[in-house]
Chain A
Amino acid sequence: MDLKTQRFAHRINGRPAAPGVALAPLVRLTVAKPEGRRSGSTGSERQALADAIEASKSDLIGLTDKVEDADAQAILSFQIALLEDENLSGPAFAGIADGRGAHQAWCAAVDPEIASCEQAEDSYFRARASDLRDLRDRVLRHLAGEIDQAVPAGAIVAAEDMPPSVFLATDWKDGGLVLRRGSPSSHVAILARSRGVPMIVGVDVEQLESGAEAVVDGDAGALIVNPDPAQRADYRRRLTEQAEAHKAASSFSGPVLTANGEPVKVMINITGLAELREIDASKVDGIGLMRTEFLFQGRKELPTEQEQYQVYRQMTEWADGRPVIIRTLDAGGDKPIEGLTEKGELNPFLGVRGVRLSLRRLDVFRLQLRALARAAVIGNLKVMIPMVTVPEELDRCRVLFQSAVDELRSEGCEAIVPPLGMMVEVPAAALTIEDFEADFFSIGSNDLIQYVAAASRDEPQLADLARPSRAIFNLIRHIVDHVHRSGCEVSLCGDLAGEPGQVAALLDQGLRIFSVAPGVLANVRAAIARYPGKVT
């Protein structure tokens, strides 16, 4: 079946990755396959490279007009200057004259410059290697005849996969995202949820063509190409509801109450400072989960203590007295970090990840604890340890924290040990929760579900097993009951908390603190407000 010629409504099922719906024109991004490009004569290769460089330059000039911050403009003008420099293109054209294909000649000219940057002693110069790589790949994409990856605003974008940097550079207003690869737990999905961009994964995007009108239904996990008038009307109605819910959420402040008057706290999950700019701190009950992985990813060097401190400090200041729960680095599993996580693990989800990795990489962990101990002086900062399996791990973290504080104080720096909590995501910890001396608890439902069900959340065939089940709800009830008896607080910060359809079931288990992606705040609040109390 060739969808490119179809003009009637067609529904393609994928998997939901970020909720919400969007109705917009479809734009399919293609992937660079430069190695598959066939070389022509010397003359045509020369022309191809010249054209690709020229096209890359006009991309960058176009991008410069769109970005507003000085840093982005500086990087773009740097890349433009590089493209204009005959010292870069000259060797490439010489390579073509020697009989090389445009692709090989371009790589041969740029790669040594990348290597030279990478060898620099100064981190600023080393960081330029990524600019050069970006530039090299942009030209290669043009050589491969691919359109620029600069994603148009307000479109439904279909692609194989999308790096977080591209996602962040895109204006998603009224748009949506359809990927073949990736999973609901991929980083781009986390970003999509936090920014309220509807997204689905697992769709064969090869068969899609740009230009058609389409609907992304991030709740049902479906893409509808050329929706018929009835579907269109249906989705327009849902779009209106969505807009109203967002409006209601932004005008909302104060505690959320269930229909029978019980207060429930709703906190937010974030990955960085950027998301906080659009959120009024007085309208949420604090940050329930800050994923520090994003500070460590996509860079050549691990962040310094000072850099981390600045981020934690600004978050704490933003929250203005409300709790800010920062999770220590949860690398490994599906979140590999160059130079840190183990390579070639047979089963990374059951491997050296979370606190297991931190306790093996004390150099990295110590810096993070120092940054946290310094930021804790400023406000209501709390620290949460991921993947805790046995009490000794948490105890060791506490000892390390205390020694980081002692060290800082001996250096004349103000520092305190903040409240230390744990993620409950390993079944062994969930079942023996009474053994853990944590100051607070947060249930990580994403991992807990897949560990309890022994079913990967990234395996589409097992989607019906890797779902919240009675086993999960029983376990959540066990955790919540125990924690409340001991006088501590427990929240749930996994995706389960952000599913409006599961809110009542979680409230039934006694859960009273939810931490969700900012994009689903409105829907979760609405679901809490509808909750009539437990039906007995």
Chain B
Amino acid sequence: MNKLRASVLMRHEVGLHARPSVKLTKLAKAFESKIDLGLSPDGPWIDAKSIVKVMATKAPKDSTIYFRAEGRDARAALDALVTLVNEDFPDGP
């Protein structure tokens, strides 16, 4: 199966720290696809569902975040994640 890809510029003022990474991993976990996150188009890739790994990227403000996903709901997952980052991690339901 092909891996789908997407990328998005993160403008969150403090970078991918506690609150954003909780939201990101929670959202990723809502999908059954395997989802990876990287800070360059060629990786290295980490599991976007792991807060430990996501935090460890220490992605600062203005990083471009790359996602790749593989699975039945891969497209929906990428759309949702890109929207989350694009909208600056809004407080949602």
Contacts and interface: CB of A to CB of B under 8 A. Distances in A.
B80 to A, nearest CB: 18
Given A81-B26, A122-B60, A125-B58, A87 B18 contact: no
Contact of A77 (B17, B22, B50): B22
A85 interface: yes
Given A86-B50, A87-B47, A124-B14, A78 B19 contact: yes
A309 B17 CA distance: 26
A86 B53 CA distance: 10
B17 A128 contact: yes
A78 B22 contact: yes
Interface in A178-231: none
Interface string B27-67: 00000000000000000000100111101101010000000
Contact of A116 (B14, B15, B56): B56
A176 B52 CA distance: 39
B52 A131 contact: no
B18 A74 contact: yes
Q: How large is the interface on A (under 10, 10 to 19, 20 to 34, 35 or more residues)?
A: 20 to 34
Query: Which of A75, A85, A88, A117 has most chain B Cβ within 10 Å?
Result: A85
Given A124-B15, A128-B17, A78 B52 contact: no
A122 B15 contact: yes
B18 A120 contact: no
Given A87-B50, A125-B17, A81 B56 contact: no
Interface of B is mostly: helix
A59 interface: no
Interface residues of B, number: 18
Interface in A63-100: 74-75, 77-78, 81-82, 84-88
Contacts, number: 50
A122 B57 CA distance: 12
B61 to A, nearest CB: 9
A508 interface: no
Interface centre among B17, B18, B53, B58 (most CB of A within 10 A): B18
Interface in B1-32: 14-15, 17-19, 21-22, 25-26
Contact of B17 (A87, A116, A124): A124
A74 B50 contact: no
Contacts of B22: 74, 77-78, 81
Nearest to B14: A124
B14, B52, B53: which has the most chain A beta carbons within 10 Å?
B52
A215 B55 CA distance: 47
A349 B50 CA distance: 48
B54 to A, nearest CB: 9
Contacts of B58: 120-122, 125
Interface in A418-441: none
B60 A74 contact: no
Nearest to B49: A85
A85 B28 CA distance: 13
B53 A87 contact: yes
A113 interface: yes
Contacts of B50: 85-87
A86 B58 CA distance: 19
A380 B55 CA distance: 44
Contacts of A74: 18-19, 22
Contacts of A82: 51-52
Nearest to B17: A124
Nearest to B56: A116
Contacts of A87: 47, 50, 52-53
B51 A81 contact: yes
Contacts of B21: 78, 81
A86 B25 CA distance: 13
A465 to B, nearest CB: 50
Interface string A498-517: 00000000000000000000
Nearest to A78: B18
Interface in A302-350: none
The 9 closest A-B CB pairs, nearest first, are A78-B18, A87-B50, A87-B52, A81-B51, A74-B19, A124-B14, A124-B17, A88-B52, A81-B22
Interface of B: 14-15, 17-19, 21-22, 25-26, 47, 50-53, 55-56, 58, 60
20 contacts: A75-B18, A78-B18, A78-B19, A81-B21, A81-B22, A81-B26, A81-B51, A82-B52, A85-B25, A85-B51, A87-B50, A88-B52, A116-B56, A117-B55, A121-B58, A122-B14, A122-B60, A124-B14, A124-B15, A125-B58
